[in-house]
Amino acid sequence: MTVGEEVTPPPAWLDEARPRLRPGVVVGPGLTKGTSTVHFVADGETGAYLQVGPREAFLMSRLDGTRSLTEIGAEYAGRFGKRLAAEHWGQLLGLLGSRALLEPADPAQLDLLREKAEAARGSEGRSALLWRMPIPRATDLVPPAARRFGWLLNPVVAVPLTLAGLAVGVLVGLNWATLYAAIEQGPARWPLTLAGIAITWVMIALHELGHGVACHRYGGRPTQIGLMWRFPLVAFYCKVDDVVTFRTTRHRVATSFAGVYVNLAALPPIGALWLWGPQAGWVHSLAASLLLFGTVAIFFNLLPVLQLDGYHMLEHATSTVHLQSEAARFTAAFLRRGPAGVSGYPRRARWIYAGYAVLAAAVLGPAIFLLVRLWFGTLAGLWGPAAAALILIAEAAAVAAFLTWAVRRRRSAAR
């Protein structure tokens, strides 16, 4: 400022305005996404979500109706070293108003946003390999289930049950041959198979309901419960989108773990039936099959390289978004340009993405090698080594082409 230059005072409305977010609007914590930090804003009344940066989240979290924009602007300057001009406030308030996030909101606008959010949820996740079919009013089951069984999520109860389930899982692994023999030697194979399938479907449903109950317990609500086609399986699913707004890391991790917790809690009574129930017949064989399948399902669900519960637990534990795809992008940048290619990443993000890339390689590398070796041996036994090698090359080319197409389609959709 030069001598004699007039300073334009801030508009009076900055001292007078005290805007307030609607009660159902929640601003989530900062989550790492590539080189940036993002916050998710959830509107519980319309079911809509908004992704914003740290500066916008800072301002929105202070719109409580008690502080003026001038007071919030002073806090903002102390945090970010820059004052907001009146036009910047106008842009922010215009954005929030267009999404009906401020009080008072127009009921007609809320209805329109609610319809748009519902349509967006209905159209996402639909492809040849993934298809979701929501079950109408299935989410209404969650609040009463949370009232009756929410106490099972109390750490005093959950920790012993989890440890007991893990102990049974270890015993299953140590006695795998014995359990498998009980299935092979058991009578009435078809009734056993049908009973196993029916109980398995019930356990999958309870697994997904567990996610919904945990989400409800920690202040969110599931947006969908239904059936999902994920090649090559059909299973239940539960969308708990509100988890990204939970302020506590423990609550986010617990919500993702709740499904596996249900499966772990089921293992001890089934193990008791195996040990102290009838030692022959279809009940004994059924208990063996449930123990084997249940343990395998828990193991695969906890693998952090598959986009199942274990992956989401790791994602929430590290406070990241799209951990797998961002780690792949980080690795590709490093392979292309070395350290210079990832210099724009914060130090914490570099450690997380590099660690996940190493973990994925350590798990998937041996698994792919063993799978290819087994498949090659099978093909070689049928048609000879030369034909087996040609088939593997053709399959590798087909997989590479499919992955290339999937990546390009995802980038196009993102644009």
Q: pLDDT tens digits for 60-105?
A: 999 988 988 889 989 999 998 888 888 888 899 988 988 899 988 8
Residues 110 and 46: beta-carbon distance below 8 Å: yes
Mean pLDDT computed over 303-332: 94
Helix, strand, coil share (%) of the chain residues, nearest 5: 65, 10, 25
Residue 412 pLDDT grade (very low, low, confident, very high; cuts 50, 70, 90): low
How does pLDDT run across 164-221, given as a tens digit for each residue? 999 999 999 999 999 888 888 877 677 777 888 888 889 999 999 999 999 999 999 8
Pairing between β-strand 36-43 and β-strand 48-52 as defined by DSSP bridges: antiparallel
How far apart, in whole angstroms, are the C-alpha atoms of residue 312 and residue 332?
22
Burial 256-269, CB ≥16 within 10 A → b, else e:
bbbbbbbbbbbbee
Reply yes or no on whether the pLDDT at 6 is more than 50. Answer: no
pLDDT at 9: 60
Mean pLDDT of 143-162: 94
SS3 label, residue 406: helix
Q: How confident is the model at residue 119 (pLDDT cuts 50, 70, 90)?
A: confident
Does residue 1 surpass a pLDDT of 50?
no
Tens digits of per-residue pLDDT, 255-302? 999 999 999 999 999 999 998 988 888 888 899 999 999 999 999 999
**Structure confidence at residue 307 (pLDDT):** 87
pLDDT in tens, 364-390: 888 888 888 888 888 888 888 888 888
Most confident of 45-49, 113-117, 154-158: 154-158
DSSP secondary structure of 183-194? HHT-S-HHHHHH
Q: How far is CA 191 from CA 160, 164, 173, 227, in A?
A: 34, 29, 25, 25
pLDDT number for residue 8: 58
Residue 409 backbone class (left: φ over 0; alpha: ψ -120 to 50; beta: rest): alpha
What is the model's pLDDT at position 238?
Answer: 92
Q: What is the mean pLDDT of residues 45-73?
A: 91
Minimum mean pLDDT among 8-12, 59-63, 241-245, 411-415: which range? 411-415
pLDDT > 90: percent of the chain:
52
pLDDT of residue 350: 95
pLDDT in tens, 326-369: 999 999 999 999 999 999 999 999 999 999 999 999 998 888 88
Overall average pLDDT of the 17-25 stretch: 90
How high is the mean pLDDT of the chain? Answer: 88
With tokens 């989108």, the residue in question is: 241
Does this model's pTM top 0.85? My answer is: yes
For residues 102 and 93, give the distance between their C-alpha atoms in angstroms, rounded to a whole number. 8
DSSP state of 20: B
Burial level of 394, CB count in 10 A (0-12/13-18/19+)? exposed
pLDDT at 3 over 60: no
| Cα distance between residue 348 and residue 346, in whole Å | 6
Instruction: For 274-334, give the DSSP string.
Output: HHHS-SSSHHHHHHHHHHHHHHHHHHHHH-TTSTTHHHHHHHHHTTBSSHHHHHHHHHHHH
Give the pair of three-digit tokens for residue 372.
Answer: 């290819």
Distance CA 180, CA 291 (A): 10
DSSP 365: H
pLDDT at 125: 58
Calculate mean pLDDT across residues 214-237.
86
